[in-house]
Amino acid sequence: MSTPLKIDIPATLRAKAPHTYVPPFVIRWLERIVHVKQMNRFLAEHTEERDFEFARVLMQDELKCSFSTEGTDNIPKSDTPLLFVSNHPLGGLDGIILALLLGEQRNYNIRLIVNDLLMNVKPLAGIFAPVNKVGKQNRDYARQYEQLWESGMDILTFPAGACSRLQKIKGEGWVVRDLEWQKSFIRHAVMYKRDIVPIYFDGRNSSFFYKLALWRKRLHIRLNIEMLYLPDEMYKATGKHFSVKIGKPIPYTTFDASKKPAEWAQYVKDIVYSL
């Protein structure tokens, strides 16, 4: 039997910020909003599951979530590696669901690009490709990232780099929408000749999450406080049903010099939201 894994907030903080003192009450607060007790209980009960199987039991048994899909026939059947891009409304559970869905369709030959903090969830580390969004990029992660693009693995990414926020859009009012999409996925798609499959994930976090994000921005607080609540948002989604729509592939040859990479990124984002 495998040794039970544990989420250890103090150890994670020491690794990410070794010279920073964190008061005990802050650690207790983090342990509460991360649901450390619940997650460690679940980890202890599922010591044998890893990667996609762990994701499946987390979604079905622990969170009891379900999803329906439209457009799976748009996913190419060839072995040519693809780049799947999606909006990012939930900040965690959407990635787990999409990894499972696309894994089933593509023989589980897929990796999800994530914040490197998620590598602390060891049973899922095998389906993650980490990037450091807080501080300097780890050299090993950077090398693994480029090797991933050179491999025959499919890649799933959220080009916004963060989950959706409540925004006031002209002509639409207040809507939950991704922030600006980063252009790097366009450059990588062209460089490594990967067609892009657009995905729209229909979901949203709690009103508390969006209000916290708005007030943080109004108070000019740079620390992304709301991100800390994403595990809490995942547990709030317990029992919910989500829908996923998959669009037609966009050939990488589409992204020529007629537009700048940032404009092409917006072009793909518009297609996703048109789904």
DSSP readout, the chain? -PPPP---HHHHHHHH-TT----HHHHHHHHHHTTHHHHHHHHHH-SS--HHHHHHHIIIIIS--EEEEE-GGGS--SSS--EEEE--SSSSHHHHHHHHHHHHHTTT-EEEEEEGGGGGSGGGGGGEEEE-SSSSPPHHHHHHHHHHHHSS-EEEE-TTSS--EEEEETTTEEEEE--PPPTHHHHHHHHTT--EEEEEEE----HHHHHHHHHHHHTT--S-GGGGGHHHHHHHTTT-EEEEEE---B-GGG--TTS-HHHHHHHHHHHHHH-
What does the pLDDT read at residue 114? Answer: 81
Contact 157, 268 (CB under 8 A): no
Q: What is the mean pLDDT of residues 79-86?
A: 94
Range of 31-40, 79-88, 207-216 with top mean pLDDT: 79-88
In degrees, rounded to 5, the angle at the alpha carbon of residue 16 between the alpha carbons of residues 30 and 137 is: 130
pLDDT class for 38, splitting at 50, 70, 90? confident
Give 116-167 pLDDT, tens digit per residue: 767 667 788 888 877 765 445 567 767 777 888 888 889 999 999 888 998 8
pLDDT class for 30, splitting at 50, 70, 90? confident
Range of 36-40, 108-112, 182-186, 224-228 with top mean pLDDT: 182-186
Q: What is the mean pLDDT of residues 160-183?
A: 87
Q: What percent of the chain has pLDDT over 70?
A: 94
What does the pLDDT read at residue 137? Answer: 52
Q: What is the mean pLDDT of residues 241-256?
A: 95
What does the pLDDT read at residue 35? Answer: 86
The C-alpha atoms of residue 185 and residue 40 are separated, in whole angstroms, by 35
pLDDT class for 1, splitting at 50, 70, 90? very low
What does the pLDDT read at residue 141? Answer: 67
Structural domain boundaries of the chain? 1-48, 64-274
Torsion sign (Cα): 49, 54, 60, 62: positive
Q: Does domain 64-274 have CATH number 3.40.50.360?
A: no
Q: In what order do the strands lie in the sheet with 83-86?
A: 66-70, 241-246, 196-202, 83-86, 154-157, 110-115, 128-131
The per-residue pLDDT of the chain, averaged, comes to 86
What does the pLDDT read at residue 84? Answer: 96
What does the pLDDT read at residue 219? Answer: 82
Q: What is the mean pLDDT of residues 183-210?
A: 94
> Can you read off the two tokens belonging to residue 172?
């639409």
- How many CA atoms does the CB half-sphere of 190 hold within 13 Å? 13
What does the pLDDT read at residue 255? Answer: 95
Q: Is the pLDDT of residue 4 over 60?
A: no
What does the pLDDT read at residue 11? Answer: 80
Q: Is the pLDDT of residue 3 over 70?
A: no
The pTM of this model reads 0.88
The C-alpha atoms of residue 210 and residue 204 are separated, in whole angstroms, by 10
What residues contact residue 40 under an 8 Å CB cut-off, 6+ apart? 4, 6, 7
